[in-house]
Chain A
Amino acid sequence: MASAKKSLAKASLRNYPLWFTLPLGIIFIVLFVLPTITSFYYAMQRWTLFDTTWIGFDNYALFFKDPFLLGGVIHTFIYAFLTSGLKVVIGMFFGVVLMSNIKLRGLLRNIVFFPVLVSTIGVGLTFQELLKPNVGILDQALQVFGIPAAGLLGDVNTALYAVIAVDVWKGVGLATVIYIAGMAAIPSEYYEAAKMDGVSAIQNFRHIILPLLRPATNTVIVLSLIGGLRSFDLIWSMTGGGPGFASDVLASLIYKKYQAGFYGLSTAGNVIMFGLILILIVPLNRYLSKREVEI
């Protein structure tokens, strides 16, 4: 009996051949895992025209010494945290509005979500023209009201924040639908019980919706942090990292250093980005999921 069971188990294993995982496994390991591992080695080299020299941790050190490179690291933090925070707040607000009883909900959701699907480069170039100093729509509108032109993208103090605003504009639709899915999963008994107890709308939001939405909030935070730390397309198409280095982030510096032939420095940027994501996301994810409540 026991041996029959065993042979059955063996037979069933034979029906799930491991080589099924090979084709994709090889592509993934060769083109993704292997380069990730070798990047630690390349990041410790300096390229000249003809040969390479081993320079240890100098490339990493440069990233934290050179003011422009360090600026890029700091901008990456600002970009990731601001976009993530704004997507949580605005996405939750949109989600609550779209789960209320107002009419036209389906249409509204589609309008908010649509920019998520549009080419980031297309969005970036469009806003580059809309926000163009003096001639763009925003500055023209400001001039009508007698306010001096803002020139958001041309000012070193505002360029990064203008890109962040467009990033939120484009991405908040995804946060919104994640919140809608989260709210749809809350059993209606909770609301009914609260209603019996005569709970006000604010109390309802603060003590029922907010805690039960924690999984959705965690998803939005983690997703937009990872996206923000890696963000490239929008910055590249709106400002190219400029003016000067005012809106450079890690991803744009990696590309610039690659173009300039500083392959080691570029790879060091990659490793730093990898490190940042790991040290931020892994503990954050653990902390956030600990605070989730069971529904």
Chain B
Amino acid sequence: MKAVNVRNWIWGLVALAVAAAVFLVPFAFIFVTASKSVQEALTLNFDLPKKWMFFENLVEVVQAQDFMLIRAFGNSILLTVCSVSILVVLSAMMAWIIDRRPGKVAKIANAMILAGLMIPPAVVPTIFLLQSLHIYGTFPSLVLIEVAYSTSFTVMIFRAFISSIPRELDEAAIIDGANPMQLFFRVVFPLLKSVIVTAVILNSVFVFNDFVNPLYYLNGPGNETVQLTLFNFNGQYVSHYNLLFMDILLVTVPMVIMFAIFNKRIVAGMTSGAVKG
């Protein structure tokens, strides 16, 4: 029995060494380069910096272009918070009706959810539509776009969860005289806590990391999100690799924190969402 244990430890350590080499080395490279001086960073190699300039680089990146990064973080966080809160409340409402009231509306909604999971958004027609509504390029329009594009996935995970809540609970509340709003927000919504947490985390990751939608729908100065600044940094600081990698590091940090706190939920949410899709 003991020999088996030792063998499992050896294999575990071997796998750890391989996994670290394959998956963590690029992150180590980001950190090392972000700590170097401009000249040293130019070599793009793995030597440790002769002089650690981590905090100097951090200050320089934050101050660059009139604190653009701070603005971008503000924009990204605001975008994430607004779109995810709208998405979660409205998706829960829709999923509840789809599950509790089967019929024509539910059928159409289910078909559209399925289509939304596969069909790529048509960008140019959406831009024309937003232009004709005079909201193209505005922050609220991007919030609505993020909501629309994540609708399918979010309603799907809510629908799966709601179907496991017994109807008797609704009926008890109805007998107690609750109207639909009270029934949903006072009785049902609190019961959804665990799936709400999952939906919030997963959608936050998607929206915060989203690059292509801000690129199409939010062009213009002052509107940058962190993913856009990251991309623009690459063009503007062609040979300032230390600053580029400091920027990459900063954009990665929120995800590291999310993962450290919620890793079980993220993995469970992504697999359950994926398997049921």
Which residues does A use to contact B, with CB under 8 Å? 11-18, 20-21, 23-25, 27-36, 38-39, 42, 97, 100-105, 107-123, 125-130, 132, 135-137, 140, 169, 174, 177-178, 180-182, 215-216, 219, 222-223, 226, 229-230, 232-233, 236-237, 251, 254-255, 258, 263, 266-267, 270-271, 273-274, 277-278, 281
Contacts and interface: CB of A to CB of B under 8 A. Distances in A.
Nearest to B174: A15
Interface stretch (B53-61, B86-94, B191-199): B86-94
Contact of A125 (B90, B101, B248): B248
B52 interface: no
Given A20-B94, A103-B8, A229-B120, 9 more contacts: A11-B174, A20-B96, A21-B94, A102-B11, A102-B12, A108-B16, A125-B231, A182-B275, A251-B212
B261 interface: no
Contacts of B275: 178, 181-182, 215-216, 219
A119 B274 contact: no
Contact of B44 (A30, A31, A102, A132): A132
Given A35-B125, A105-B12, A18 B101 contact: yes
Contacts, number: 252
Contacts of A177: 267, 270-271
Contacts of B270: 116, 174, 177
Nearest to B45: A140
Contact of B15 (A23, A102, A229): A102
A211 B22 CA distance: 30
A24 B151 contact: yes
20 contacts: A13-B101, A15-B180, A20-B184, A21-B98, A21-B109, A23-B90, A24-B94, A28-B148, A29-B112, A35-B125, A36-B122, A42-B125, A117-B255, A123-B26, A129-B241, A178-B271, A178-B274, A180-B271, A263-B124, A277-B119
A130 to B, nearest CB: 7
A126 B263 contact: no
A91 to B, nearest CB: 12
Contact of B248 (A15, A126, A178): A126
A129 to B, nearest CB: 6
B15 to A, nearest CB: 6
A133 B248 CA distance: 21
A42 B22 CA distance: 45
A21 B99 CA distance: 11
A232 B213 CA distance: 11
Contact of A119 (B121, B147, B209): B209
B170 interface: yes
Contacts of A226: 117-118
Contact of B125 (A38, A117, A180): A38
Given A117-B266, A216-B275, A266-B123, A20 B93 contact: yes
Contact of B149 (A32, A122, A126, A233): A32
B144 interface: yes
B27 to A, nearest CB: 8
Contacts of B48: none
Nearest to A216: B275
B169 interface: no
A217 to B, nearest CB: 11
B258 interface: yes
A254 B215 CA distance: 13
A257 to B, nearest CB: 9
A242 to B, nearest CB: 14
Contacts of A258: 123-124, 216
With a 10 A CB-CB cut-off, give which of A16, A128, A130 has the most chain B CB atoms. Answer: A16
A25 B44 CA distance: 50
Given A121-B227, A226-B118, A16 B100 contact: yes
B234 A125 contact: yes
Interface string B12-53: 110110011011101001100100000000011110000000
A114 B259 contact: yes
A41 to B, nearest CB: 8
A44 to B, nearest CB: 12
Contacts of A169: 22-23
B252 A118 contact: yes
For the complex of A and B, the 5 pairs showing the least CB-CB separation, nearest first, are A103-B12, A39-B122, A24-B90, A35-B125, A31-B148
